[in-house]
Chain A
Amino acid sequence: MAPPKRPFKRIVDKLVELKDTSELMMDLAYSSLLLNSHRLAEEVQELEEHVDELHTEFELLVLSSGFKKEESRDFLGLIRLGVVTEKIADAASEIAGVVLRGLEPHPVLKLVIEEAEETVARVQVARESSLIGKTLRDAQIPEETGMWVLSIRRGRRWIRPKPDVMIKTGDILIASGYAEGEEDLVRLASAETTH
């Protein structure tokens, strides 16, 4: 078997980015319902546009990778995985749409999502925060708050929360965890020092 070629890596990176983003959208969409939060629902819609762009880039990468005829089935598999992420993103966007249309979420919906006990928080990192300049690994956010960072929004970009990503001023941390952790996360990201 031939060793993996470079294009494969780029294609798979893009696919995983699509996968992660569509899953992030699901978490955000359900949370936007629970909290009746326009801000989170809007984030979902912005991500939907982002996914559309990513998906196009992904398909172009696959189609321009110069695969051989006998490899076409494998590449079809890849294309279809891409379509799946798009479908999930659409579903998330429909859920967020309920909030954006100003329909007061039915009490049943809140109960359903609360059942999960987890919540999503969206917190901006202040210049004075002790997190600035630290990598995610060193920031120890789960240890301090019980919240797990799902994504870091930096301007128009959403960054995957790899351990060596450095936290910068103005970053928005999108994190999930038990509801009680949110306050701790807000404190950590703001100027206040608690120790």
Chain B
Amino acid sequence: MVHLEKVEYKPIPVRDLLVEMKDISELMIDLAYSAALFHSPELAEEVLELEEHIDKLAYILGMNAMLAARDAEDAEALVGVSVVAAAANKISDAAADIAAIVLQEIGIHPIVREAFQKVEERLIRVAVKPGSILTGQRLEELELAARIGVDIIAIRRGKRWILNPDDEETAREKDVLVARGAPMGVEEFKRLADGTVQKLED
């Protein structure tokens, strides 16, 4: 029997719920492709957990949006919010579909994966080498997004995964970083992580 947790109403602003749904669904897409590209069932599992979380948020958002509408005008204004929430939910479903491909061993052939990694230039997985300038500074200070257009979406530290690391996090030697960004920024990021480039341009 399928058991789904009952979702209870919580008074959370629609805005906060939608921000979370949008951010998480986008993160999930990147994580899911990374799981496929770099063959990581653990990462795929994380994606499925996030999917569960998004489903709950969608229910709570629906409840709050209904309560927010007092008249026809409100309803007209709010319907856009529910369309966008539904789209974010659909995006998270799509990410979960990718995760399922990885987990069900339908699989992606190693040759395909290799070709995929060569052509795909927006996602990268790289280990932090000793002496890389990425270590020792908080992500906030590195300002990778502003400087090279790259976001770290996950850190693998030993057996642990840190998803969507916050600004206070600091990369350490041997961490495996999964990042996404514009192709040229991603190349630069790789060189920063492996220590070939020792300076971040402003």
Contact = CB atoms under 8 A, between A and B. Distances in A.
Interface of A: 1-2, 4, 8-9, 11-13, 15-16, 19-20, 23, 26, 29-30, 33, 71, 73-74, 76-78, 80-81, 83-84, 87-88, 90-92, 94-95, 97-98, 103-106, 108-109, 111-113, 115-116, 136-137, 142-143, 146, 148-150, 161-163, 177-178
B15 interface: yes
Contacts of B79: 103
B93 interface: yes
B81 A142 contact: no
B84 A103 contact: no
A169 B189 CA distance: 31
Instruction: List 8 A-B pairs, minimum CB-CB distance, nearest first.
Output: A74-B109, A91-B87, A148-B182, A12-B115, A91-B90, A87-B94, A98-B80, A148-B149
Given A104-B77, A161-B183, A115 B115 contact: no
A6 to B, nearest CB: 11
Interface stretch (B100-108, B164-172, B190-198): B100-108
A83 B22 contact: no
B142 interface: no
A74 B101 CA distance: 10
B116 interface: yes
B29 interface: yes
Contacts of A2: 111
B122 interface: yes
A84 B87 contact: no
A42 B112 CA distance: 34
Given A20-B122, A23-B29, A108-B15, A87 B112 contact: no
13 contacts: A11-B112, A12-B119, A16-B116, A20-B122, A23-B122, A26-B91, A33-B80, A33-B84, A77-B107, A87-B97, A88-B91, A149-B182, A163-B183
A81 B98 contact: yes
B92 to A, nearest CB: 9
B43 to A, nearest CB: 16
A146 B146 contact: yes
A8 B115 contact: yes
Q: Which of B33, B101, B105, B201 has the most CB of A within 10 A?
A: B101
Contacts of B8: none
A87 B90 contact: yes
Contact of B84 (A71, A87, A88, A95): A95
Q: Which of A92, A106, A163 has the most CB of B within 10 A?
A: A106
Contact of B94 (A76, A84, A106, A163): A84
A139 B115 CA distance: 29
B78 interface: yes
A95 B112 contact: no
Given A90-B90, A91-B87, A95-B84, 20 more contacts: A12-B116, A15-B116, A16-B120, A30-B22, A71-B109, A73-B105, A73-B107, A77-B108, A80-B97, A81-B98, A88-B90, A91-B90, A92-B87, A94-B86, A98-B83, A105-B80, A106-B78, A106-B81, A108-B15, A137-B184
